[in-house]
């Protein structure tokens, strides 16, 4: 979306990551946005309202900020805004927003905001993974016009390491810039997308298999981005660590042959196909029906190729259908990806190079670039998997002739 001229309301809650909101405010201003700030009482103990008032050049809406002078701030602030960001969003505020509670400026503005809302959860890993927080995240993702920024893994302020970090300000801005505008002409009411996700497992015997390290995080980001854009989303998924969220149809498979069957038998029903799964190129030619005994001698496996799901779906492509493929490359990536795009016939190919430190499999960021008729081959750049998903959705919406289907 275009941030220049945008009116953005920034909600700040009481977590150590509140200091990041000051940097986010400045980055939004550099993009030409006008920013106002609203704070919970706890947030004012981490960063003073004076800091945000000085940076935004506007009064900050706080719990004890003379509400009698402007009794309708909880309505006026969100009504002024084009979009509402809550960064960071603590477990407490998330629980309020997900369950219709509003007793502080940030949750009141969330309740009163009729526009687009983006939240960045930030908390300790144990809290983030707790059943209550995961249930609230699942619930709030189902709200219309609400987008949840993924909480990357890493070192937390408490010294522990794991998921729950607040998304970095630069990553948040990148995601917003990549997001489609929701106020543009709509596509129509019945656009649908089928996404492949996760990895495949190719059996050797009843207990062993050939597979890879795909976590399914990129496919989940794609599914949520398409869902937020108004698409009916179906995911054909092999095993993966990423959670399965509600509001999306999930079809489970294990092997490449099973995924090939499910995709090709359904492909004609969809407007868009996105091949994001890490499908095994080969499978054992024979599968033992008993566990192969460990004899400490050499074991030779004869492999045969699996069908190419992307090429086979392109071969059956119907007029107007958009097909997106993925290419994972680790050497001479741009040349190999361009060759794959040309051979596949896909409308868009995402080049994915998951070899940089702290990126790729299981991480929240990845090195990638897009290849299409409109996108010349360019060196991969590091970005969040959410921003990748938003760029894919933007390409699809433009190709279909609109910008939203809500």
- One domain, residues 88 and 170: yes
Residues 127 and 154 in one domain: yes
> Does 141 lie in the same domain as 16?
yes
Task: Tell me, yes or no, whether 122 lies in a domain.
Answer: yes
Bigger pLDDT: 405 vs 117: 117
Domain end among 154, 178, 202: 178
Q: Which of 150, 178, 206 is the last residue of a domain?
A: 178
Residues 100, 219 within the same domain: no
171 and 78 in a common domain: yes
The pLDDT value recorded for residue 21 is 97
Is the predicted pLDDT of residue 403 greater than 50, yes or no? no
Tell me, yes or no, whether 119 and 241 share the same domain: no
pLDDT digits (tens, 9 = 90+) for 281-300: 999 999 998 888 876 677 88
Domain region containing 41:
7-178
> Is 325 a domain residue?
yes
Q: How confident is the model at residue 380 (pLDDT cuts 50, 70, 90)?
A: confident
Confirm whether 405 is a catalytic residue: no
At residue 363, the pLDDT reads 62
10 Å CB burial of residue 138 (0-12, 13-18, 19+) is middle
Residues 113 and 174 in one domain: yes
Residues 277 and 389 both lie in one domain = yes
How far is residue 192 from each of residues 61, 138, 144, 251, measured CA to CA in Å? Answer: 41, 21, 17, 15
Give the total number of structural domains in the chain: 2
In-domain check, residue 215: yes
User: Residue 110 belongs to a domain with what CATH number?
Assistant: 3.40.50.1950
| pLDDT at residue number 298 | 78
Low-confidence winner among 223-227, 270-274, 374-378 (lowest mean pLDDT): 374-378
165 and 196 together in one domain: no
Contact 311/343 with Cβ under 8 angstroms?
Answer: yes
Question: 273 and 155 in one domain?
Answer: no
Q: Is residue 211 domain-shared with residue 280, that is, in the same domain?
A: yes
Q: Which of 58, 89, 109, 158 is labelled catalytic?
A: 158
For residues 113-136, give the mean pLDDT. Answer: 92
User: What is the per-residue pLDDT across 183-225, written as a single tens digit (0 to 9) for each?
Assistant: 443 444 468 999 999 999 999 999 899 988 788 889 999 998 8
Spatial CB neighbours of 169, under 8 Å, sequence gap ≥ 6? 20, 21, 23, 24, 27, 87
Same domain, yes or no: 117 and 235: no
Q: What CATH number is associated with residue 346? A: 3.40.50.10300
- pLDDT of amino acid 53: 95
What does the pLDDT look like over 8-32, one tens digit per residue?
999 999 999 999 999 999 999 999 9
Q: Residue 190 has what pLDDT?
A: 65
pLDDT for the residue numbered 65: 67
């Amino acid at each position: 979306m275009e941030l220049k001229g945008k009116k953005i309301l920034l909600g700040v809650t009481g977590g150590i990551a509140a200091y990041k909101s000051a940097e986010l405010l400045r980055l939004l201003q550099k993009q030409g946005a006008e920013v106002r700030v609203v704070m919970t009482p706890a947030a004012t103990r981490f960063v003073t309202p004076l800091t945000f008032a000085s940076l935004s050049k506007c009064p900050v809406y706080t719990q004890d900020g003379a509400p009698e002078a402007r009794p309708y701030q909880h309505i006026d602030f969100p009504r002024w805004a084009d979009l509402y960001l809550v960064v960071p969003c603590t477990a407490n505020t998330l629980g309020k927003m997900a369950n219709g509670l509003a007793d502080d400026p940030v949750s009141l503005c969330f309740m009163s905001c009729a526009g687009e809302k983006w939240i960045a959860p930030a908390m300790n890993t144990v809290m983030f993974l707790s059943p209550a927080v995961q249930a609230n995240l699942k619930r709030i993702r189902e709200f219309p016009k609400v987008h949840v920024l993924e909480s990357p893994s890493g070192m937390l302020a408490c010294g522990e390491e794991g998921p729950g970090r607040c998304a970095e300000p630069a990553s948040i801005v990148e995601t917003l810039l990549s997001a489609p505008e929701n106020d543009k002409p709509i596509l129509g009411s019945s656009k649908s997308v089928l996404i492949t996700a996760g990895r495949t497992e190719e059996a050797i015997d009843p207990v062993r298999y050939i597979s890879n390290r795909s976590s399914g995080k990129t496919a989940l980001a794609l599914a949520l981005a398409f869902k937020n854009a108004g698409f009916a989303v179906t995911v054909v998924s092999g095993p993966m660590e990423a959670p399965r969220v509600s509001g999306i149809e999930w079809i489970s498979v294990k092997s490449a042959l099973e995924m090939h069957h499910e995709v090709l038998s359904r492909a004609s029903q969809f407007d868009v196909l996105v091949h994001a799964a890490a499908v095994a190129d080969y499978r054992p030619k024979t599968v033992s029906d008993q566990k192969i005994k460990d004899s400490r001698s050499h074991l030779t496996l004869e492999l045969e190729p699996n069908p190419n799901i992307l090429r086979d779906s392109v071969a059956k492509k119907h007029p107007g259908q958009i097909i997106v493929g993925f290419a994972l490359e680790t050497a001479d990536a741009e040349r190999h990806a361009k060759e794959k795009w040309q051979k596949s016939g896909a409308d868009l190919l995402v080049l994915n190079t998951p070899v940089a430190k702290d990126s790729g499999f299981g991480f929240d960021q990845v090195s990638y670039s897009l290849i299409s008729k409109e996108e010349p081959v360019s060196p991969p750049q590091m970005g969040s998997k959410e921003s990748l998903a938003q760029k894919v959705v933007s390409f699809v919406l433009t190709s279909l002739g609109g910008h939203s289907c809500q």
